[in-house]
């Protein structure tokens, strides 16, 4: 049985309750187990999600995005982002924004670590540098029998050479002990009035932004929020899809953050499971996504930058620009206050 801590905070006249998950797998396991033990009312909500899905599939609704799913099984087993071709469409537009910030890479704000040679044994030994001054160690005149034997042994072992180069070790000269980091938070999904295809853009934009930031040696972590609000309750599952030290699994990010086929079925199951775990019966409409949700979460997670909902390419591009501006502004402040 899952035992997740419910983090509870007051926000204005409402109460935020959120659960933290270490990975998408951790989240999926939680949802599966909780959905097997729902309250009577929450089980009805889950049955309603399945029933509504069957009706939409029968009418070829594009509410789940295109291409339209052909069966309930398509939704249940959906774990691969089906719009990878959009990466090629959006990438050039976002690249224009990224190019505006490439000069910062030469600045102290986003400075790339540089390799520096040293003679103190710091870093790793560079055979290429040592080779530049390589010479054979001669046998001194008047050497004893033992010295001659030792010298011959070194020749046979390939250890009869030395180098005139002193700085034979390389290390990152300007690599801070504390690597600059950035945590991005994305709110998944959309309310029912948003068409399915509009959900695709936010995850793609974040994937491209992450690739750029990490090329600047900025460690990036990504949390995806799946949440709802109703009455005085704000409920959020925060799923870590990328940690600072691991590479980004683009598919996992895109499925969880911006795939209507996932969110509007498995994501709905997640909202029902979350409500049930927190001790609430979720409303028939499964609540709504509103500004209270992100405001409440970020108010209690000040170290994160929120990538706002983006239901168009242009809006996603503007969000990339805003995040870069916000990050560089914060880094400038840190430098001036040291």
Q: List, for residues 293-336, the tens digit of each pLDDT value.
A: 999 999 988 788 888 776 566 766 777 777 877 777 765 444 44
Are residues 129 and 250 both part of a single domain?
Answer: no
Tally of structural domains, the chain:
2
Are residues 128 and 203 both part of a single domain?
Answer: no
Q: Is 278 inside any structural domain? A: yes
pLDDT at 197 over 60: yes
Phi, psi of 83 (to 5 degrees): -125, 40
Q: Is 14 helix (H, G, I), strand (E, B) or coil?
A: strand
Are residues 218 and 74 both part of a single domain?
Answer: yes
- pTM for the complete prediction? 0.73
Q: Is 147 helix (H, G, I), strand (E, B) or coil?
A: helix
Contact 163, 131 (CB under 8 A): yes
pLDDT at 131 over 60: no
Are residues 82 and 205 both part of a single domain?
Answer: yes
Parent domain of 120: 115-172
Are residues 155 and 182 both part of a single domain?
Answer: no
Are residues 69 and 214 both part of a single domain?
Answer: yes
Task: Determine the average pLDDT of the residues in 280-301.
Answer: 92
Are residues 46 and 123 both part of a single domain?
Answer: no
Q: Is 151 inside any structural domain? A: yes
Of the residues 172, 191, 215, which one is the last residue of a structural domain? 172
Are residues 268 and 319 both part of a single domain?
Answer: yes
Q: List, for residues 209-247, the tens digit of each pLDDT value.
A: 888 888 877 889 999 999 999 999 999 999 999 999 899
pLDDT at 156 over 90: no
pLDDT at 51 over 90: yes
Of the residues 126, 149, 172, which one is the last residue of a structural domain? 172
Of the residues 172, 195, 218, which one is the last residue of a structural domain? 172
Across the chain, where does the E strand assignment appear? 7-11, 14-21, 115-118, 124-125, 134-136, 161-163, 169-172, 181-187, 219-230, 233-242, 304-307
Are residues 119 and 250 both part of a single domain?
Answer: no
């Amino acid at each position: 049985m899952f035992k997740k801590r419910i983090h509870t905070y007051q926000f204005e006249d409402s109460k935020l309750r959120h659960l933290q998950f270490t990975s998408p797998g951790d989240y999926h396991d939680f949802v599966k187990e909780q959905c097997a033990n729902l309250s009577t009312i929450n089980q009805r909500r889950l049955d309603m999600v399945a029933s509504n899905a069957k009706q939409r599939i029968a009418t070829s609704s594009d509410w789940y995005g295109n291409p339209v799913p052909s069966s309930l099984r398509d939704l249940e087993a959906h774990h691969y982002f089906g719009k990878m071709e959009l990466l090629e469409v959006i990438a050039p537009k976002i690249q224009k924004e990224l190019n505006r910030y490439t000069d910062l890479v030469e600045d102290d704000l986003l400075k790339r670590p540089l390799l520096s040679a040293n003679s103190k044994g710091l870093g790793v030994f560079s055979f290429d540098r040592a080779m530049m001054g390589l010479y054979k160690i001669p046998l001194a005149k008047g050497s004893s029998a033992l010295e001659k034997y030792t010298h011959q042994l070194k020749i046979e072992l390939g250890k009869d050479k030395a180098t005139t180069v002193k700085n034979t070790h390389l290390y990152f000269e300007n690599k801070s002990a504390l690597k600059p980091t950035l945590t991005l938070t994305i709110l998944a999904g959309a309310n029912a009035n948003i068409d399915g295809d509009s959900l695709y853009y936010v995850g793609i934009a974040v994937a491209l932004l992450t690739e750029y930031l990490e090329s600047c040696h900025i460690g990036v972590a990504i949390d995806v929020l799946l949440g709802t609000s109703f009455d005085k309750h704000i409920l959020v599952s925060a799923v870590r899809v990328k940690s600072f030290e691991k590479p980004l699994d683009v598919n996992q990010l895109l499925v969880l953050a911006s795939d209507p086929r996932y969110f509007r079925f498995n994501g709905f199951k997640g909202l029902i499971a979350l409500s049930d775990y927190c001790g609430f019966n979720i409303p028939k409409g499964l609540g709504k996504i509103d500004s209270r949700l992100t405001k409440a979460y970020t108010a209690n997670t000040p170290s994160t930058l929120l990538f706002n909902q983006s239901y168009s390419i242009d809006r996603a591009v503007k969000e990339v620009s805003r995040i870069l501006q916000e990050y560089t502004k914060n880094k400038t402040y840190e430098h001036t206050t040291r």
